[in-house]
Amino acid sequence: MSSVQVARCIISFTWLYHGIFPKIVHIAPLEALIISSFGFSSDISTFITKAAGIGEIVFGVFFFIFYKTYIANALNIIGLTGLLASVAVLQPQLLIEAFNPVTTNIPLIAFSVILLSHIRKVDFKNR
């Protein structure tokens, strides 16, 4: 399997996994903590968490299909940076926990950078 396919699969899998398990199948306590930081009621927080999970699943499928496009990788980088910044502002103590957003988001951003460099090389060769 090429590095491009590894990056594609890891990014897609991560979005799918984080959408399905800690948000839809079972709302993880840290997910609930982050969403509750916005001050919503319990019912609204549950709805937002599950809606975010659906959004992550949709993006995971979208990314798997369109991984060769600039827009898919830009959205991945912007989304992961935004999520990391949100945690840093709302619950900064989570940045030093095990399996934290720093150790998940930054590598996924790096995989998109690898994919973007591959896209540029392919575009350059086709000119």
Q: Is the pLDDT of residue 126 over 80?
A: no
Question: Per-residue pLDDT tens for 26-43?
Answer: 999 999 999 999 999 999
Annotate 9-22 with b (16+ C-beta within 10 A) or e (fewer): eebbebbbebbbeb
What is the tens place of the pLDDT at every residue in 56-86? 999 999 999 999 999 999 999 999 999 999 9
Residue 127 has pLDDT above 80, yes or no: no
pLDDT bin (cut points 50, 70, 90) of residue 124 is low
Q: What is the mean pLDDT of the chain?
A: 95
What DSSP string runs through 69-84? SHHHHHHHHHHHHHHH
